[in-house]
Copies of this chain bind each other. A is one copy, B any other.
Amino acid sequence: MTNLFLMTRSEENYIKTIFHLGGSDSVPVATNAIAEQMETKPSSVTDMAKKLADKGLVHYKKYQGVSLTEIGIKTALSIIRKHRLWEVFLVKKLDFTWDEVHEVAEQLEHIKSEKLIDKIDELLDFPKYDPHGDPIPSKDGKFMVRDKELLSDLEVKAGGVCVGVKDTSAPFLKFLDKNGIALGKTIEVLEKEDFDQSLHIKIDQSELHISHQIASNLYVKKNN
């Protein structure tokens, strides 16, 4: 049980990536998938897989992919908790916009201080979701899985509240801002174009036409 506090930044980033690609299940993740996600080379992933396996954070057998151990999952959740809490902090306390927070949170998530992150959590009044609608794991690694669906999967006439984004890239988020789409807004599907799957929607008071591209990156919590 190698101490989590002496993990390097690189190791933490690998663990986080493996979690995001494989979920908390012990689904093995392919070397190439990790390499692509981390913008590194497969051979580097293999090296790290061995090291993380030695440390007991992942299961690894040659050619069989990588999956997180119990400890690996806990570690991943702890890093993700920090990342998302910092994102909330930046938005709520420092007036960052939701398209600016990710880059800084990528750095802040590696700060080693349990007290620090717990105090940030308290300062923010224990938020459950980050600025992109993603759930924040609690100290003991639990988090809410909100039932939500992609706007593109709703039927005509169906509606709900916008609760998250799938694509969290700055360009997409800025596009949403420009079109008055934000978390918490009420959305209703007015019309669906069969040809290109584009949608005519009502968002709060106004109406808007959006492409399938957009609709398939917006999460909605359906009305009862």
Contact = CB atoms under 8 A, between A and B. Distances in A.
Interface of A: 90, 93-96, 100, 103-104, 107-108, 111-113, 115-116, 119-120, 123
Contacts of A104: 111, 113, 116
A108 B107 CA distance: 9
A105 to B, nearest CB: 10
A205 B107 CA distance: 46
| Copies of this protein chain in the complex | 2
Contact of A107 (B94, B111, B115): B111
A151 B93 CA distance: 39
B96 A115 contact: yes
A96 B117 CA distance: 12
A120 B95 CA distance: 11
